[in-house]
């Protein structure tokens, strides 16, 4: 299992992989949260990360506990690949927001709708 300090190092490495311009307007940065986060009313679906925008600015939250719940047996590089996918997903939300686009948000809503229906009918 990757400890939280090493997980933070992974986030920093992934941050360095991308050009600085990608993070423009992300004034709250990327925040590592220790908790395992679940989507509300979604039958135990785990949330790995979230893009937030509000009065205090825009940030990405990555949930260490969620990753450990789903990938605790992964080695460092495999875990890093999963974190990369989540980070890129949340950065896409940020870039789309700046471009006044919401394709990924619509895709996420559709995914949650389908997930909910599969659990209700399942």
Q: Note down the domain range covering 77.
A: 4-120
DSSP per-residue codes, 22-42: GGTT-TT-EEEE-S-EE-TTS
Find the range with the poorest average confidence among 43-47, 81-85, 97-101, 117-121: 117-121
Query: CATH no. for residue 60?
Result: 3.30.2010.20
- Into how many domains does the chain fold? 1
Per the listing, tokens 């997980």 go with 7
Q: Alpha-carbon distance 4 to 79, whole Å?
A: 12
Q: Alpha-carbon distance 30 to 83, whole Å?
A: 12
Determine the pLDDT at residue 14.
98
Average pLDDT over residues 87-93: 98
26-65 residue pLDDT tens: 999 999 999 999 998 777 899 999 999 998 899 999 999 9
**Can you read off the two tokens belonging to residue 54?**
């509000």
What does DSSP assign to residue 121? -
């Amino acid at each position: 299992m990757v400890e939280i300090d090493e997980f933070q190092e992974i986030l920093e490495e992934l941050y360095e992989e991308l050009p600085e311009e990608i993070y423009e307007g992300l004034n709250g940065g990327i925040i590592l949260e220790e908790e395992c986060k679940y989507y509300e009313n979604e039958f135990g679906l785990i949330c790995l990360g979230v893009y937030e925008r509000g009065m205090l600015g825009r940030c990405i939250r990555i949930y260490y506990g969620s990753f450990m719940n789903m990938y605790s047996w992964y080695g460092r590089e495999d875990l890093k690949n999963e974190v990369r996918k989540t980070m890129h997903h949340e950065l896409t939300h940020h870039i789309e927001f700046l471009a006044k686009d919401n394709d990924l948000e619509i895709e996420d809503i559709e995914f949650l709708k389908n997930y909910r229906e599969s659990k209700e009918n399942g």
